[in-house]
Structure 1
Amino acid sequence: MRERPVSRLTRRGLLKGAGAASTGALLAGCMGNGANEETTTDETEQSETTTESETDETTTEETQNGYAVSMSPAGTVEFDAVPENVFAVFPQYADMVTALGHGDALNSVYVPEMTGTTLNHYAHHLDGVSFEWDGLDDPLSNSFSKEQLYALDSDVHLADPAWATTQDNWDGADVEEIGSQVAPWFGNFYSGTRAQPPEGYDDYEYYDLWTLFGKVADVFRERERYEALAEVHTNLVSTIRDQLPPKEERPSAVRVTLAADGQSFYTYHLNKPGYWLADTRPLGANDAFADEDWQSLWGTVDYETMLEADPDVILHLWGLTPSYSMADTRSKLENHSSGSQLKAVENDRVHAAGMRYQGPIMNLFQLEMGAKQLYPDVFGEWPRYEDGDPYPEIPENEWLFDRNRVADIVAGRGE
């Protein structure tokens, strides 16, 4: 079992002195470069009553020269000040730091235009909240490189060191070098799908989305802001689960992405463990592909398989991002000889979904969105999403959570 030395963060510059994946593949769900998504055998089911809403207890410890925060697989990381220059790979961390009021500290995120535009589709409804993405580096645009991390000279890397060892031209020594010469790592990737981490990380721990968010909040010393947002989330999940119809009366649904050629679908489970499913699992829909074993949480199916499943509702992943056109998707389905026969297509229940790389802001809106798409008779009709528009306007009396409360928390108005 690998030992985890205590990492240390000082102000930017004080640690100096010693010495890719394509957009299409990532959007489809194939992480590549060692990011194995095979689920562990003891984590393939989760009770429907299990909630991810419980407020995480603080993981911060005061030290002689600052404070320390613990999270697997980074271990205990010491800070002498709140990070002011922050590296991130996946969008959930951009969402988290924005929710904590530190979005302007980010120097990078995967596909900044996609991440930033999508996050702002939601933040459009939060007064005083926005994410300025223009000018951010893309850490995966030209492979994941040590040179970029040295150049960015960050105060913390919100990325999983275990994941980093799986990238091209990286190994454990490279990860340790960056952690000691630039800034520590603080991220957890494999909880996204409860996947098996790389060799050497036998003590890897899995977290749900809001526990992970709580640990990031402790890095930024924003415990009160986190707890306030976690309360909103807890109430939202309770509101949804208290009103769900009996399982036998719930719709069948699939979460898919139509392939670029329009001839097949990337498919994802709805109710398996992992924070990538934090917006579908609490909704409890009947997964039309629940019995499919793809040896991962995503697979591919053709139209024949889709027709056999014939779900009541199709949730099109990435549909609310600028990376896909829902108008084109619907047109391809409607004009395909088999696609046009799908129940969801005939009944106009092909809906735009968000992204799996969700943080707290996205998660709140995507839970509400999914609840309305799956259970319009219970939670109110979902307005049709138009390409390029923000998250649709919903009458205040049909909100499932209070946008004004969230905006006040994120903007620092009396959290």
Structure 2
Amino acid sequence: MNDESTIQHETLTRRDALKYGTTAVGGGLFAGCSELVGQDEDERTGSSGTGTYSVTMSPAGEITLEQPPENVLTILPHHADMALAAGHGDAVSSMLYNPEYNDTIWNKFLERLPGVSVDWADLPGTWDPDKELLYELDSDLHLADPAYMTNMQSWTREDIAEIGENVAPWFGNTLSNANKEPPEEWADQYEYYTLWEIFEKVAQVFGAEERYTALTAVRSSLLERIDERRPSTAERPSTAVIQPFQGSFWVYHLNEPGFLYSHTRPLGAIDAFADALGDSGQIGGQVDYETLLEQDPDVLLVTGMMGQSGIEEVRNTLTDDPVGRQLTAVETDRVYAGGVRNQGPILNLFQLEMTAKQLYPDVFGEWPTYTDGPYPEIPVEEQLFDRQEVAAIITGDR
């Protein structure tokens, strides 16, 4: 990688409004809580332009702003989903991980939210970019986990600090997806959050606390309905989250900490591979057909299939295999297109509803047979949350 540390770039007026502390990124300690200095959205974004507010989240530390960012870089889609939920989807102007794929998946869900969509397919960005690309993108905010950036081969902590100082601050948390161990140089300052705790902080960055509060109320109501009606433990199905891979399968945890599981953990189904995977810190493991049959889950959730084609091919592959066709889930037609793991709050609402219906159809209503296309239309009386309400919260029409 070329060393761009000596390049001098003009500071733009827009960035003058994004003053930030780089305590954590620079290697020191960080505050452990969020603190809003400004009192409300009007004060922060008013015509005077003098209101300031600060938000703190591990591992980046505290950032202080005078107005919400208008030009945001993301890596994974959970942060982009949060910006959208905060009413600032248009601020997402670059994405380092597969924007075309994420655009396709998200719009398949957003089809059910009137007036809400994303336009990510042609966003600039590439995995493991050169530093110069981030200079060229000239973002107001890097809505990304700086510790996660060091997973990329070309990036060091010094590079991250340079971009944070010369371009824009970092602000994001990704390793909370499975409470993964951070790189050694970040270990003393890394804190884990739930999906909705991260969203709360991102909403504060965008001055969208009211949207956060309203969407949290929708989620709380959904979870209450699940808790009230969910069958007892003895009546819950054994379940495996799988992904086909070269004639075998990756299997993943179901109920572990982290936002990868925020659409399955609240349902409390029996994890068919909990003992086999153990607590090694790995998010999953590889198994063959015979091992899958040994556990013989009642339900198979094929991860990442919702919103794209391929689930029929998986079903046919299982049926055509002499071992696979013996699986209980295959015999009872309970092989479902599973959800997106790196989800944000919007997809989390849909995927909680979807998983509830897949696991407990007798309680929450049958999940429609799905092959491809948008999130299925669910009769209003069988919906677990109000689409119109969620759309109105996001668009500001509520």
Q: Which range, TM-score by smaller chain? A: 0.7 to 0.9
Higher helix share: 2
The TM-score with structure 1 as length reference comes to 0.83
Q: Please give the per-residue CA displacement for 1:189-230, whole angstroms capped at 9, x wherever unaligned.
A: 111111111113212111000010000000000000110001
Match of 1:76 among 50, 62, 81: 62
Q: How does 1:113-262 map to 2 (within 5 A)?
A: 113-140=100-127, 143-201=128-186, 202-259=188-245, 261=246
Structure 1 residue 285 corresponds to structure 2 residue 269: yes
* Root-mean-square deviation over aligned CA pairs: 1.9
Aligned residues: 360
Partner of 1:39: none
Structure 2 portions without partners, runs of 5+: 1-10, 19-32, 39-43, 45-49
Q: How does 1:33-112 map to 2 (within 5 A)?
A: 59-62=35-38, 66-109=52-95, 110-112=97-99
* Counterparts of 1:302 and 1:346, CA distance in 2: 18
* Counterparts of 2:184 and 2:114, CA distance in 1: 45
SS at match of 1:133: coil
- Which of structures 1 and 2 has the bigger CA Rg? 2
Q: Residue 173 and residue 286 in structure 1: after superposition, are their counterparts in 2 closer, same or farther (change >3 A)?
A: same
* Counterparts of 1:394 and 1:145, CA distance in 2: 45
Paired residues of 1:11 and 1:155 also in contact (CA < 8 A): no
CA shift at 1:12, angstroms? 3.4
Q: Please give the per-residue CA displacement for 1:285-321, whole angstroms capped at 9, x wherever unaligned.
A: 0000011225411111111110001000000001114
2:108 corresponds to which letter in structure 1? H
Paired residues of 2:15 and 2:168 also in contact (CA < 8 A): no
CA shift at 1:250, angstroms? 0.3
CA shift at 1:13, angstroms? 5.1
1:120 corresponds to which letter in structure 2? N
Q: Percent of counterpart pairs with the same letter? A: 49
2:248 corresponds to which letter in structure 1? S
CA shift at 1:113, angstroms? 1.8
Q: Residue 180 and residue 65 in structure 1: after superposition, are their counterparts in 2 closer, same or farther (change >3 A)?
A: farther
2:104 corresponds to which letter in structure 1? T
* Counterparts of 1:145 and 1:321, CA distance in 2: 32
* Counterparts of 2:163 and 2:368, CA distance in 1: 47
Paired residues of 1:84 and 1:155 also in contact (CA < 8 A): yes
Match of 1:12 among 11, 14, 31: 14
The TM-score with structure 2 as length reference comes to 0.87
Q: Please give the per-residue CA displacement for 1:116-151, whole angstroms capped at 9, x wherever unaligned.
A: 1111111111111111123212331xx233122111
Runs of 4+, deviation exceeding 4 Å: 13-16
Deviates more, 1:163-172 or 1:331-340: 163-172
Match of 2:326 among 336, 341, 364: 341
Q: How does 1:249-328 map to 2 (within 5 A)?
A: 249-259=235-245, 261=246, 263-292=247-276, 293=278, 295-322=281-308, 325-328=310-313
